[in-house]
Amino acid sequence: MSSNIRIISRLDIKGENLIKGIHLEGLKIVGDPNEYAQKYYNDGVDEIIYMDSVASLYGRNNLLDIVRKTVKHIYIPITIGGGIRSTDDVELLLRNGAEKVAIGTAATINPDLITDVSKKFGSQCMVLSIEAKLIDNSWMVFIENGRKNTGMDVLEWAMRGEKLHAGEILLTSIDKEGTNKGFDYNLIETVSTNVSIPVIASGGMGSTDHFLKVVQESSADAVAMADVLHFNKLSISDIRNNAEENNLNVRSYDK
């Protein structure tokens, strides 16, 4: 677990819209992603993750315009994921304001892409995105926004990703995603205690207690959240203040 726990807003995008679903399905339009990103920035979020939810289906990432607008007024790290297939794709996103890229589907097909991105742009830029689902008591790696089972074991893939020089892991529990019922704590702990790179917990945030538990008991280095922020169930200041009251090292925030 890192010294400073990062609070991250995750924005899933379809076309030009911010969307949200449950278990990565039943996606509904929430609003304008740039407006939400600006709000979260103003409220003191540490980082923003944009994920193009249908990019892997169409073989392209559609977030360039959204990123260009975002970086005009937002000055925190932005990670872009979805449909990234080559170092050329990465270079285009970085040139337009992204600081990191999250690669999932393409990395399972071509694991060398992890190393190629890390060597060319630095490992801190390369986030391995893993979508996990419990199948017959084993966590399996899913791709294409949770649509396809790769047959790969999550822990084995996470450890291999580290060896291939991924800089951190975005670990999303499909079973918990969008439920507000808490993270898959066993999943997060299993991965975070077996790799030395940071693990971002994603999927299930519903309360400040969930935040505390995934950091204190499951050793997450950062926490990504969506629904709980989009629908005003919690504010970033609620989360930050509660973390500080419980002696968690979150980044100090001064606007």
DSSP 25-45: EEEEEEE-HHHHHHHHHHHT-
Distance CA 35, CA 17 (A): 11
Q: What is the pLDDT of residue 88?
A: 96
Q: For this structure, is 217 an active site residue?
A: no
- pLDDT-derived band of residue 53, with 50, 70 and 90 as boundaries? confident
Q: For this structure, is 12 an active site residue?
A: yes
Active-site pick, 12, 43, 89, 227: 12
Measured CA angle at 59 (ends 187, 97), to 5 deg:
75
The CATH number corresponding to 6-245 among 2.40.50.100, 3.20.20.70, 3.40.630.30, 2.30.130.10 equals: 3.20.20.70
Element (H, E) at 92: helix 87-95
Active-site pick, 43, 46, 52, 131: 131
Where along the chain do its domains lie? Answer: 6-245
- Which residues contact residue 95 at a Cβ distance below 8 angstroms, ignoring those fewer than 6 apart? none
Quote the tokens at residue 123.
């490992």
Q: On the CB side of 31, how many CA atoms lie within 13 Å of its CA?
A: 11
Q: What is the pLDDT of residue 86?
A: 95
Instruction: List, for residues 98-115, the tens digit of each pLDDT value.
Output: 999 999 999 999 999 999
pTM of the shown model: 0.94
